[in-house]
Amino acid sequence: MPSASVIIPTHNRRPGLTKMLDDLLHQEGLPAPIEVFVVDSPVAEDVSDVVEDFRKLGLDVTYLLTENNLAGKRNRGAEASTADVLIFADDDMRLPNDWVANHLSAQREYADTWVSGAVAFPADWIASSNYYRYKNTRHLNPDTAPHDCDVTGNHVVVMNMSMPKSLYLATGGSCEDFTRYGGEDVEFGFRFKRSGGRLRYVARALAYHHEDRLDVVVFARKLYVAAYTAGRSVLDKAPEAATVPTLRWTEPGYAQTWTDRGMHSLLVLLSHPALVGRLAQWLRKHDENPRLYLPLAYKALTLLATHLGVRDRVAGRSDRARDVFPSYVGS
């Protein structure tokens, strides 16, 4: 039996997937070989040739096709797996050569536990970009959380996570109702916690997030989309998510304290599309100036972009993410 099943949902990321499979080919310290499932959809670029190339090199890798749904791809990989331990990774991660071994040792150390590994951005990205400097502080990693600890449902990052297959299936797998960006990880984490499960952050299970080089404007757009399409669904499916301040302050009807109500009122006042868009553009303009690294500005943008998505959804407006947060011309 393989020591672990590594499941990689993918969509139009041939270069990143190639590097990731090479990382998996060179894993060390394993008690037995691993099996890998690359799960794609027919609407994406065909990368079966990449998978076949690595199969010829000796990696036990299988290419699966299903609908273009992130949660569904994770579920199809889990269903096809034959190992007792599942390890999930997104297709834009780079994996140290002890990555699988560290997840397996964590699974032995913390029995019947979902292990959330550390996620960090490349050091040169952090050094050259205020945006990535800020984003790195929003993940649990050796810089922000050097020691293992139990975590709540909102700290689930399935982009770098392992668990016994039996637990994944018993929890019902990833929720396929989330069809656009955002929501599925938080809902999944709170659903598992509700069932009595343990979530554990493990610092040594580190992976590096080599996402397509985004910027703060695209980041704000993704926050808007997540709030517009998924925010209410998360709360409906996992009411415990109301403990997360961002959701409590941005969604109507969830304020619990005077502080919550004050934050919600402030966001109602400030979340005007022109203001939020200009803040994102200003942060983009000064991204490479370390003297203008303003963490509070990024936190404000996170709340404002999220609340703008909520307001537009509640008001029945159409999704205007790309109008408020445009990409560079030609991107």
Q: What is the CATH number of the domain that holds 194?
A: 3.90.550.10
Does residue 210 contact residue 122 with C-beta atoms inside 8 Å? yes
Helix (H, G, I), strand (E, B), or coil: what is residue 298? helix
Say if residue 146 is in the same domain as residue 46: yes
Q: Which residues of 308-318 are buried (b: 16+ CB within 10 A; e: fewer)?
A: bbbbbbeeeee
Tell me whether residue 140 is in a domain.
yes
- End of a domain among 209, 237, 262? 209
Does residue 288 carry a pLDDT above 90? yes
The torsion angles phi and psi of 283, rounded to 5 degrees, stand at -65, -35
Which residues are CB-contacts of 140 (< 8 A; sequence separation ≥ 6)? 116, 118, 119, 151, 155, 157, 201, 203
Q: Which of 229, 220, 237 is nearest to 181 (CA)?
A: 229
Say if residue 79 is in the same domain as residue 155: yes
Tell me whether residue 331 is in a domain.
no
Dump the DSSP string for 202-234. Answer: EEEEEEEE------HHHHHHHHHHHHHHTHHHH
Q: How many CB atoms lie within 10 A of CB 120?
A: 20
Say if residue 250 is in the same domain as residue 318: yes
Segment 297-308 shows an average pLDDT of 97
Say if residue 14 is in the same domain as residue 158: yes
Say if residue 82 is in the same domain as residue 203: yes
Tell me whether residue 330 is in a domain.
no
Using CA atoms of 328, 208, 117, 92 in order, give the dihedral in degrees to the nearest 10. Answer: 60
Say if residue 67 is in the same domain as residue 187: yes
Q: Which amino acid is at 182?
A: G
Segment 95-124 shows an average pLDDT of 96
pLDDT on residue 330: 34
pLDDT digits (tens, 9 = 90+) for 243-264: 999 999 999 999 989 999 999 9
- Any idea which residue has 């109702």 for tokens? 177
- Any idea which residue has 């800020």 for tokens? 134
Say if residue 251 is in the same domain as residue 158: no
- End of a domain among 140, 174, 209? 209
Does residue 117 carry a pLDDT above 70? yes
pLDDT digits (tens, 9 = 90+) for 62-95: 999 999 999 999 999 999 999 999 999 999 999 9
**Domain hosting residue 301, numbered range:** 216-324
- End of a domain among 209, 236, 267? 209
Say if residue 195 is in the same domain as residue 288: no
Say if residue 88 is in the same domain as residue 203: yes
Domain count for the chain: 2
